[in-house]
Amino acid sequence: MAKYHRETDLQLLTQDELDEILDMALNLSDELEFIDRPWRQIAYDSTQKDIERVTGDTRVAREFYRRRLIMARELGFHQTGVKEMVIDQYRLPPRIHKPLATKVSEMFDISMNEIDPIIQIQNEGHILYPHIGHARNSSIFCLLQSNNERTIWYEETKPFKTYSMYRIPDYSKLKEAEETRLTVGKWTTFMHNQWHAVKRDGDPKKWRVNLNIDFASLPYDELLEKIDKWQKST
């Protein structure tokens, strides 16, 4: 039984509304607001000096670089033909954002302060290296377009230190726990505070676009409980 995701029968938007959002994403509509997350300053190919310049800490930079070398050895990197996926995130325009957030808040009794509907676009690369969420704990995830990518969750075999801004794991202390291919158009719950990665075979034929209704601190188990409670009441 899936532990870190679950498909639902939720219909939070009409197909016409989902199609409009996909079209906005594919055309990078001016209505979308780009979200510049601070952790984007460190990429997989960043040198130790690059990392130190961002973190201001020599020991942290050395540890981050060590962890990236472990992942390069195990998962590949650009010199072995493996290119990192980069996710661009955008906030939806108020005319879509506010009604959607309000609907989710009322359906599941979740504070509006918790809810952030966003669009994510991945247009190149082969792997989004293992990471955990920064600005979200759980979400309801609707894949709008894909290349049949795989999402893999990991469990820790031994504990290791996690840094608040840059969520880079010690891959030598992870093991694969669950893998899935998300279904396009299906609203799926998603645990973000568990280490996870995204992989695709070969270069993408089209952009991967997903709509996320993110919850900043709502635990995944509580999200499932709220969805179950709502479904039983309808």
Strands 115-122 and 196-199: unpaired
Please list the helix, strand and coil fractions of the chain in percent, rounded to the nearest 5, in that order.
35, 30, 40
Give a yes or no: residue 75 inside a domain: no
Give a yes or no: residue 59 inside a domain: no
Residue 92: give the domain boundaries: 5-36+87-233
Give a yes or no: residue 47 inside a domain: no
Give a yes or no: residue 61 inside a domain: no
For residue 119, give the nearest of 220, 34, 5 by alpha carbon.
34
Give a yes or no: residue 199 inside a domain: yes
Which domain CATH number covers 119? 2.60.120
Give a yes or no: residue 62 inside a domain: no
Sheet holding 196-199, edge to edge: 127-131, 196-199, 150-156, 174-180
Count structural domains, the chain: 1
Per-residue pLDDT in tens (0 to 9) along the chain, 234 residues: 679 999 999 999 999 999 999 999 999 999 999 998 766 667 666 778 888 888 788 888 888 889 988 988 999 988 888 998 888 999 999 999 999 999 999 999 999 999 999 999 999 999 999 998 877 889 999 999 999 999 999 999 999 998 776 778 999 999 999 999 999 999 999 999 999 999 998 899 999 999 999 998 999 999 999 999 999 988
| pLDDT score of 150 | 96
Question: Which residue is listed with tokens 């891959």?
Answer: 171
Which pTM was predicted?
A: 0.90
Give a yes or no: residue 54 inside a domain: no
Give a yes or no: residue 227 inside a domain: yes
Q: How many CB atoms neighbour CB 129 within 10 A?
A: 21
